[in-house]
Amino acid sequence: MTFRGHTGSVYDVAFSPDGRRVASSSRDRTVRLWDVTTNAEVTTLYGHTDQVASVAFSPNGDRVISGGLDKTIKAWDVTIDRGRIRLGDRGRVVGFSPDGTRMVAAGRDATIKVLDAGTGAELTTLRGHDGNRGGLLEASFSSDGRRIISSAMDKTSKVWDVETGAELITLSRDKGCVHARFSPDGRWIASWAPDYWLQGPYENTIKLHDAATGEELMTLSGHEGQIYSGAFSPDSKRLVSCDVKETIKIWDTESGEEVMTLKHRGGSFCVAFSPDASRIATGGSNKDKTIKIWDAETGAEILTLEGHDSAIGSLAFSSDGRRLVSGGRHGIVKLWDVTTGFEVMNLQERGAKSAWEEVRFSPDGKTIAIGSNGITLLESSAPVDGYEARQTGAAARKLVDELYEEYGFYYKVIDKLKADKKLDESVQKMALQIANTRLWEDAERPQ
């Protein structure tokens, strides 16, 4: 048996306690995990900045410990990443509904797709953004799951009724691309508008709107640099925002007053509140490349997480607040234990072309969704509801995509699926559902 994949000399290997896996460390600065029964590589662990000299499993097999010439010892949780499922190549931005049963995805064609989180099947497609001016920037559900708010390169944010597909509200500004988020209590929409074209002058304000009508209620002023991200606290009483000129501000949403100002050296591109509102995470720019964890009450810096090799564009806490997932450029996604500051795992290999990866935890904390040039779901090692259904959905989506590539029209794909008597019944049913939701695309193609 031979395991191939390292690009440098292998310095150490170790069997897991159950004998089913092998961990290896290498001159190429990686630790790799291998399946003994299939001879396949399970995952690659990035994080060391120099050669990795030694590797070992914990007694229960849940952790791998590695020692590198970078003078660090890293502990990796290898119970993650055993359930990698690809939902398709059409979504980039991802978000879960509050009950975890649906996802929202948005692509370069400026449409918003509502997906079944168990199977990946497309339930609804929302159209209204101007796709000629670029794709979607972000999309998320309201706390009751009945509305979606989306932001696009057409300089607008829109609120949609999920059930009817109706466009309810449109927010816009003269400068920049409007980003917007619902408050958890459903009362507010916060909006800001970074100028990705760097044309200036910039709108360095946050506006609070009535979530039912879109009416502008309040303007929060104080940032000097372009505002790139904002997040409400879970109780909606606070809003945190960050800009490229190193400033992080915390606001009182009732009064509009600035409560606190923090400094993230080099500037930051993203922020997130922990589920208990006690901590704030900020993701650094290319000048800094670190994640900082702050005490939300005192402003004290608690932790600095180092490991990304470029800017961090997306952050999300798990529901228990103990883990943080971060999305960086070039397909780098990392999972962190924020109680210790340890990097638990690098969840996605290099090579993605996206500016950066969008990352989200499911409401129950059992699934991590990554949105780039498609949507990937990562499951924990424990069985979770919907896992088998997701495998079926992934197989069906792959089949539909292959048939579409061969025949060019979805009505032909449907005919082929119906005629295939040897196809697994559950895969066939799901594939027909997916193909039917895409039939509208045939009308936009020349016959």
CATH at residue 257: 2.130.10.10
372 CB neighbour count, 10 Å cutoff: 23
Same domain, residue pair 66 and 88 = no
Residue 2 in 3-state DSSP?
Answer: coil
Same domain, residue pair 163 and 65 = no
Rounded Cα gap, residues 124 and 162, in angstroms: 8
Rounded Cα gap, residues 22 and 32, in angstroms: 8
**pLDDT attached to residue 387:** 47
Q: Does 431 have pLDDT greater than 80?
A: yes
The phi and psi torsions of 419 (rounded to 5 degrees) equal -85, -15
> Span 352-369, mean pLDDT?
78
Query: Is 277 among the domain residues?
Result: yes
Q: Is the Cβ–Cβ distance between 368 and 335 less than 8 Å?
A: yes
**pLDDT attached to residue 154:** 87
Q: Identify any residues that bridge with 25 across adjacent strands, giving them in sequence order.
A: 12, 31
Model confidence at 264, in pLDDT bands (50, 70, 90)?
A: very high
Rounded Cα gap, residues 155 and 166, in angstroms: 19
Model confidence at 85, in pLDDT bands (50, 70, 90)?
A: low
Model confidence at 385, in pLDDT bands (50, 70, 90)?
A: very low
Q: Does 90 have pLDDT greater than 80?
A: no
The more confident residue out of 137 and 83 is: 137
**pLDDT attached to residue 414:** 92
* Percent of the chain's residues with pLDDT above 90: 45
The more confident residue out of 330 and 102 is: 102
**pLDDT attached to residue 134:** 72
Query: Is 296 among the domain residues?
Result: yes
Query: Is 3 among the domain residues?
Result: no
Model confidence at 108, in pLDDT bands (50, 70, 90)?
A: low
CATH code (residue 28): 2.40.10
The more confident residue out of 342 and 324 is: 324
**pLDDT attached to residue 136:** 81
For 356, counting Cβ atoms within 10 Å of its Cβ (0-12 exposed, 13-18 middle, 19+ buried), the class is: buried
Mean pLDDT of the chain: 85
**pLDDT attached to residue 209:** 96
Same domain, residue pair 363 and 423 = no
- Tell which residue, 181, 177, 100, 197, has the closest CA to residue 142: 181
Rg of the Cα atoms in the chain? 23
Query: Is 4 among the domain residues?
Result: no
**pLDDT attached to residue 194:** 85
Domain that holds residue 34: 10-77
> Span 304-316, mean pLDDT?
90
The more confident residue out of 307 and 418 is: 418
Total count of domains within the chain: 3
Query: Is 201 among the domain residues?
Result: yes
> Span 406-435, mean pLDDT?
88
Rounded Cα gap, residues 263 and 248, in angstroms: 6
Q: Does 138 have pLDDT greater than 70?
A: yes
- Cα–Cα distances (Å) from 32 to 6, 35, 81, 168, 344, in that order, read 8, 10, 13, 49, 14
Same domain, residue pair 142 and 253 = yes
**pLDDT attached to residue 116:** 84
Same domain, residue pair 244 and 129 = yes
Query: Is 224 among the domain residues?
Result: yes
> Span 343-361, mean pLDDT?
67
> Span 223-244, mean pLDDT?
93
Domain boundary pick from 77, 101, 120: 77
Q: Does 45 have pLDDT greater than 50?
A: yes
Q: What is the dihedral of CA 133, 138, 140, 146, to 10 degrees?
A: 0
Same domain, residue pair 195 and 301 = yes
**pLDDT attached to residue 79:** 65
Query: Is 1 among the domain residues?
Result: no
Rounded Cα gap, residues 24 and 123, in angstroms: 43
- Give the model confidence (pLDDT) of 153-210 as tens digits: 888 999 999 999 999 999 988 777 889 999 999 999 999 988 765 556 677 899 999 9
Same domain, residue pair 404 and 328 = no
Same domain, residue pair 344 and 299 = yes
Same domain, residue pair 399 and 417 = yes
Same domain, residue pair 327 and 253 = yes
Domain boundary pick from 352, 379, 406: 379
Same domain, residue pair 339 and 206 = yes
Domain boundary pick from 27, 55, 77: 77
Model confidence at 91, in pLDDT bands (50, 70, 90)?
A: low
**pLDDT attached to residue 330:** 73
Query: Is 116 among the domain residues?
Result: yes
Same domain, residue pair 400 and 361 = no
Q: Does 122 have pLDDT greater than 60?
A: yes
Q: Does 382 have pLDDT greater than 50?
A: no
